[in-house]
């Protein structure tokens, strides 16, 4: 029993890491309807920039601040110089633009910071600690706490600040938002900046867990099933989706792994997502259009 619990908790905590990446997608998708494929590259870029500064001898805090500035400024620049020019184009065009962007970002990262694998040490020992009857990774707990703090601040932001409510207004009806004087470009800039920040948090945690390397961009592919399950427009959904994927993945690995010949966790998330697409295409928490009958 405690083995089951341990697997479950371990899976849930790992799922939080997926959620962190998925939140970045949700933010931009909600505000502008763009599926930002470059989110994964932003995660990599953040981790790589931070680790490069650290290896150059910078202290933790200044390195973090500089990376933050670079990420936010970079994200705002992407909005201003790439996506602004494409306003009014089809969703597919915008998606292709972000796909292209992801290669540009990866290329730049490689050009300036090299392609070797770096170790990222956040100063947290990954020693399991005992919580009741089970062992839990300390690092995973910290990641979960970080994600929790991020989600709480984002939901306060969206529900109680002018900018947050304006962003939800834009997500609901961009034309109506413009009709009462809400400036779309200003808010897009803000949301891209926030997405840059989220990418930084995800990049540090993923980088510390896996090492900073180019395969980090592949976390995008794990964020996809999370988004399908949680819905593309809900931050809470991204969290629940991540937890579901994380838990089902690690349970499947343990309990179905032998039956199916191992490495179940590489594909199980996609099967779960597929099932959701068939049963509930808007996801658990996605905004279904409110329709009165």
Partner 1 sequence: MNAPEPFLVVENVEAVYGQAILALRGVSLTLGEGGVVALLGANGAGKSTTLKAISNLIRAERGQVSQGTIRWRGRDILGRDPSALVSDGLVQVLEGRHVFPQLTVEQNLITGAYVRGLSKLRIADDLERIYAWFPRLKARRQSRAGLTSGGEQQMVAIGRALMTRPTLVLLDEPSMGLAPLIVEEIFEIVRQLNRDSGVSFLLAEQNANLALRYADHAYVLETGRVVASGAASELARRDEIKNIYLGGGSAAAAKPTRH
Binding site for partner 1 (CB under 8 A): 88, 162, 165-166, 168-169, 171-183, 287, 289-290, 292
Two tokens, residue 203: 């990049």
The CA-CA-CA angle for residues 234, 270, 216, to 5°, reads: 80
Two tokens, residue 293: 């009958």
Rounded to the nearest whole angstrom, what is the least distance from the CB of residue 248 to partner 1 in the complex?
29
Helix (H, G, I), strand (E, B) or coil at 290: coil
Q: Are 27 and 234 in contact (CB under 8 A)?
A: no
Rounded to the nearest whole angstrom, what is the least distance from the CB of residue 159 to partner 1 in the complex?
9
Q: Which are the contacts of 165, defined by CB distance < 8 A and separation ≥ 6?
A: 158, 159
Q: Which are the contacts of 141, defined by CB distance < 8 A and separation ≥ 6?
A: 13, 129
Rounded to the nearest whole angstrom, what is the least distance from the CB of residue 167 to partner 1 in the complex?
11
Nearer to partner 1, 36 or 166 (CB): 166
For the chain, the first-to-last Cα distance in angstroms comes to 49
Rounded to the nearest whole angstrom, what is the least distance from the CB of residue 288 to partner 1 in the complex?
10
Rounded to the nearest whole angstrom, what is the least distance from the CB of residue 84 to partner 1 in the complex?
14
- Helix H segments across the chain? 2-32, 39-55, 60-78, 91-113, 138-160, 162-172, 174-179, 184-210, 219-230, 235-255, 257-260, 268-279
Two tokens, residue 83: 């996506």
Rounded to the nearest whole angstrom, what is the least distance from the CB of residue 228 to partner 1 in the complex?
20
Nearer to partner 1, 91 or 173 (CB): 173
Two tokens, residue 270: 């996609």
Rounded to the nearest whole angstrom, what is the least distance from the CB of residue 177 to partner 1 in the complex?
7
Alpha-carbon distance of 61 to 66, in angstroms, equals: 9
Nearer to partner 1, 107 or 185 (CB): 185
Rounded to the nearest whole angstrom, what is the least distance from the CB of residue 10 to partner 1 in the complex?
35
> Token match 């110089």: residue?
81
Q: Render 84-131 in DSSP notation, one character per residue.
A: GGGTTS-HHHHHHHHHHHHHHHHHHHHHHH-SS-B----S----EEEE
Nearer to partner 1, 159 or 263 (CB): 159
Nearer to partner 1, 67 or 166 (CB): 166
Nearer to partner 1, 33 or 174 (CB): 174
């Amino acid at each position: 029993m405690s083995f089951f619990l341990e697997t479950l908790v371990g899976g849930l905590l790992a799922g939080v890491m997926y959620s962190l990446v998925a939140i970045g997608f949700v933010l931009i998708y909600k505000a502008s309807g763009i599926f930002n494929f470059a989110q994964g590259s932003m995660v990599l870029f953040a981790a790589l920039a931070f680790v490069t500064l650290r290896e150059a001898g910078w202290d933790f805090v200044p390195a973090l601040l500089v990376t933050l500035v670079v990420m936010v400024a970079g994200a705002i620049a992407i909005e201003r110089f790439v996506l602004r020019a494409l306003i009014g184009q089809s969703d597919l065009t915008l998606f292709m633009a972000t796909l292209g962007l992801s290669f540009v970002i990866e290329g730049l990262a490689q050009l300036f910071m090299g392609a070797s694998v770096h170790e990222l040490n956040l100063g947290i020992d990954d020693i399991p600690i005992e919580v009741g009857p089970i062992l839990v990774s300390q690092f995973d707990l910290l990641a979960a706490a970080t994600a929790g703090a991020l989600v709480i601040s984002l939901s306060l932001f969206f529900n109680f600040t002018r900018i947050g409510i304006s962003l939800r207004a834009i997500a609901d009806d961009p034309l109506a938002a413009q009709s009462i004087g809400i400036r779309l470009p200003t808010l897009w800039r803000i949301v891209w900046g926030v997405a840059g920040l989220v990418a930084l948090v995800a990049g540090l945690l993923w980088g510390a867990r896996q090492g900073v390397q180019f395969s980090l961009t592949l976390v995008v592919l794990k964020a996809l099933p999370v988004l399908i399950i949680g819905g593309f427009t809900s931050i809470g959904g991204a969290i629940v989706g991540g937890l579901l994927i994380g838990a089902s993945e690690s349970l499947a690995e343990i309990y179905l792994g032998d039956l199916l010949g191992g490495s179940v966790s590489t594909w199980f998330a996609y099967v779960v997502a597929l099932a959701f697409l068939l049963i509930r295409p808007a996801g658990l928490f996605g905004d279904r259009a409110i329709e009165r009958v």
